[in-house]
Amino acid sequence: MLTISLFAPSSFLVQTTPVLVMKFGGTSLADPERILAAIGLIDQAADEGFSPVIAASAMGKTTDALIDLARQLDADIDGPDRDLLLSTGEVVSCALLSAALNARGRPAVALTGQAAGIVTDQSHGRARIQYVAARRLRSEVAAGRIPIVAGFQGASRGGRVTTLGRGASDTTAVALATALDADHCRIYTDVDGIYSADPRLVPAARKIAQISYEEILEMAALGAGVMHARSVEVAGRNRVPIEVRSSFNSNPGTWIMHADQIDIETGAGVRAVVDDADVAQITVVGVPDRPGLAHSVFAPLAEDDISVDVIVQNISHQGLSDISFTVQRSDYEKALAATQLTAREIGAQQVTSDPQVAKLSLVGTGMVSTPGVAAGMFGCLAETGINIRGITTSEIRVTCLIGEAHLAKGARALHTAFGLDA
């Protein structure tokens, strides 16, 4: 995976140094000490013969602090202003990293997403990268400078700064790796890799050596914060190998790769328990059961751009049924107001809601060929005294909706029951 040497016909030795994209998350750049540690890792990669290209997150909790600042001013800030504000966090990290590298004799150049050629659509707050115009990046690399690119941001064709969604510096990193045909992409974070459950919630969680794009994509989509879901989508599509590892030690991390490259025995059965507490549940009780009612409930939510997740509808009794669904907590109040309005319009009996629910999921591509996973999950939750309020499944996961208060207990019990404990 290291240096590729090509012999040109005229027997010149053309040496192309492989690009290594290194992404540093917020905790990995939280203070000057951590920034110096990141610089040590960049030096090391350069000494190993890579051309490092860096994607930097905002320092520590800077992005949260910026959001809070706007809130304190009661400024109803969204769209382009919000993106410009939030983009400053990553710019600070880049400038500091670049200055510190240059001061140590390692030529580097700090680039905003826009200067790095990251072109996005115009969906402020959750823009998608359309392409990376990588000429500038390539010429910096060719000139022997290390580009330090601000993660999480780009610019629309109209030239306005956009942000890509919370946690999206991972996506910047993978987009850079794709555009520069990098050897691989290293995600430096505050855990040693991807674990069989969030190690903060399940102390017995085990580091996974190799995981497929499908599995980590499912985990990310279900709420495992360790990787931004879209970064995994882009990496899978472009076959970018990713290593997730800690910036706090030199332990080997987790490799994300195609399922057919993973050791067969490693990939069997249930691979991880995923928890997500960012869930609120809304139930429309006593809906007159006639065609088009589900559409009446969900169409206004779609119009308000609210994503609906776990949907449960019961069999109707005496012409009435209940429809229950979940949304992210940030959408809860808006969704509740819209649903109360709909409920009155369609003559439903009442709307009940609970903003404190959570999702627990089991994930693993091997589940397709492992019967009894769902039954085992329900049995384990029952034995632990946890009531299930909704269920969804796919080929490679089972998700149960439960009360948030039971999340840690449920996650630990499932982790043990499915033989995942370290």
Contacts with ligand ADP, residue ranges (CB under 6 A): 25-28, 57, 167, 189-191, 194-195, 197-200, 224-226, 272
Q: What are phi and psi of 94, to 5 degrees?
A: -65, -45
To the nearest whole angstrom, how small is the minimum distance from the Cβ of residue 21 to ligand ADP? 14
Q: What is the CA angle 196-380-315, rounded to 5?
A: 110
- Residue 198 binding partner per list ligand ADP, Mg ion, ligand ASP, none, with a CB distance cut-off of 5 to 8 Å that depends on partner kind: ligand ADP
To the nearest whole angstrom, how small is the minimum distance from the Cβ of residue 165 to ligand ADP? 12
Looking at beta carbons only, is 27 or 156 nearer to Mg ion?
A: 27
Looking at beta carbons only, is 156 or 169 nearer to ligand ASP?
A: 169
Tell me the CA end-to-end span of the chain in Å, nearest whole number: 30
Q: Which residue is nearest to ligand ASP (CB)?
A: 169
Site residues, Mg ion (CB under 5 A): 25, 167
- Residue 200 binding partner per list ligand ADP, ligand ASP, Mg ion, none, with a CB distance cut-off of 5 to 8 Å that depends on partner kind: ligand ADP
Looking at beta carbons only, is 141 or 279 nearer to ligand ADP?
A: 279
What distance lies between CA 62 and its chain's CA centroid? 18
- Residue 298 binding partner per list ligand ADP, Mg ion, ligand ASP, none, with a CB distance cut-off of 5 to 8 Å that depends on partner kind: none
Q: Which residue is nearest to Mg ion (CB)?
A: 167
To the nearest whole angstrom, how small is the minimum distance from the Cβ of residue 343 to ligand ADP? 36
Looking at beta carbons only, is 60 or 147 nearer to ligand ASP?
A: 60
- Residue 195 binding partner per list ligand ASP, Mg ion, ligand ADP, none, with a CB distance cut-off of 5 to 8 Å that depends on partner kind: ligand ADP
- Residue 63 binding partner per list ligand ASP, ligand ADP, Mg ion, none, with a CB distance cut-off of 5 to 8 Å that depends on partner kind: ligand ASP
Looking at beta carbons only, is 278 or 289 nearer to ligand ASP?
A: 278
Cβ-based neighbours of 369, under 8 Å, separated by 6 or more: none
To the nearest whole angstrom, how small is the minimum distance from the Cβ of residue 358 to ligand ASP? 21
